[in-house]
């Protein structure tokens, strides 16, 4: 058999341009498949829950540090002499706004009870039972916490409003001149009360 006959038996070969186009198509198809696989993996593994979004939070309203606290004269919870802020002038004073229906207020009363027993007459403590329709429950909570300091009844939240309070509990720390030294929001621990009481007990410079 001649070389010419052997070549004829192998059949016609595709042109070079056709073979090049076929290779390009194979590469493109491979890339497309890999891209599809990557997309499927991304969709399957990404978190499906809502994304957390941080929003700006404005600080709570409060009386300015250094300003004089508004005077008040309230009926005493459980009866007795009125509770008057002016009576504590000359003594560092802690004013705690709370209510019996407030869970955070209930949580902090034991700290106030221990704190009041510890500081004695060195620091005055006044409770203000605000916007509370159940004075009996407030008395029971205070008794269980061992909180024997005077508590005024602010049933219409007028005093709380004058202190710019919109949520409970809030505690104001006043210096000997009745000026705001610090404002604490939320339930307080005894350590926090001890710290700020020591700050307002410092002699004026």
pLDDT of residue 202: 72
Digit-coded pLDDT (tens) for 129-160: 999 999 999 999 999 999 999 999 999 999 99
Arithmetic mean of pLDDT, 8-24: 57
Digit-coded pLDDT (tens) for 101-110: 999 999 999 9
Digit-coded pLDDT (tens) for 44-99: 555 444 344 445 567 789 999 999 999 999 999 999 999 999 999 999 999 999 99
Look at residue 150 and tell me if it is in a domain: yes
Arithmetic mean of pLDDT, 189-203: 88
Look at residue 5 and tell me if it is in a domain: no
Structural domain total, the chain: 1
pLDDT of residue 60: 87
Look at residue 103 and tell me if it is in a domain: yes
Residue numbers of the domain that contains 109: 73-200
Task: CATH number of the domain at 87, please.
Answer: 3.40.30.10
Look at residue 56 and tell me if it is in a domain: no
pLDDT of residue 121: 87
3-state secondary structure 84-138: EHHHHCCCCEEEEEECCCCHHHHHHHHHHHHHHHHHCCCCEEEEEEECCCCHHHH
Contact 128, 96 (CB under 8 A): yes
Confidence of residue 39 (pLDDT cuts 50, 70, 90): low
Confidence of residue 38 (pLDDT cuts 50, 70, 90): low
Look at residue 48 and tell me if it is in a domain: no
For residue 185, give both structure tokens: 């929001």
pLDDT of residue 157: 96
Q: What is the DSSP letter of 182?
A: E
pLDDT of residue 65: 96
Look at residue 108 and tell me if it is in a domain: yes
Contact 98, 135 (CB under 8 A): no
Confidence of residue 1 (pLDDT cuts 50, 70, 90): very low
Look at residue 35 and tell me if it is in a domain: no
Tally the residues of the chain.
205
pLDDT of residue 33: 63
Confidence of residue 36 (pLDDT cuts 50, 70, 90): low
At 2 the three-state DSSP class reads coil
β-pairing verdict for 73-74 and 151-154: unpaired
Mean pLDDT of all residues belonging to the chain: 83
Look at residue 185 and tell me if it is in a domain: yes
For residue 76, give both structure tokens: 């005493």
């Amino acid at each position: 058999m001649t070389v010419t006959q052997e070549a004829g038996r192998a059949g016609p070969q595709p042109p070079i341009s056709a073979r090049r186009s076929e290779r390009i198509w194979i590469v493109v198809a491979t890339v497309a498949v890999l891209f599809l696989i990557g997309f499927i993996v991304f969709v399957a593994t990404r978190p499906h829950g809502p994304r957390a979004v941080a929003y700006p939070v404005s600080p709570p309203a409060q009386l300015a540090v250094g300003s004089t606290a508004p005077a008040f004269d309230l009926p005493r919870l459980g009866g007795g002499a009125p509770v008057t802020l002016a009576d504590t002038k000359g003594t560092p004073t802690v004013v705690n706004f709370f209510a019996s229906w407030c869970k955070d207020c209930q949580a902090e009363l034991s700290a106030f009870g221990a704190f009041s027993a510890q500081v004695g007459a060195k620091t005055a403590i006044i409770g203000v039972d605000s916007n509370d329709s159940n004075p009996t429950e407030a008395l029971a909570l205070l008794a269980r916490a061992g909180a024997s300091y005077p508590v005024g009844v602010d049933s219409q939240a007028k005093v709380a409003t004058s202190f710019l309070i919109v949520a409970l509990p809030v505690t104001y720390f006043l210096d000997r001149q009745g000026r705001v030294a610090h404002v604490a929001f939320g339930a307080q621990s005894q350590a926090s009360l001890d710290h700020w009481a020591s700050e307002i007990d410092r002699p004026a410079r």
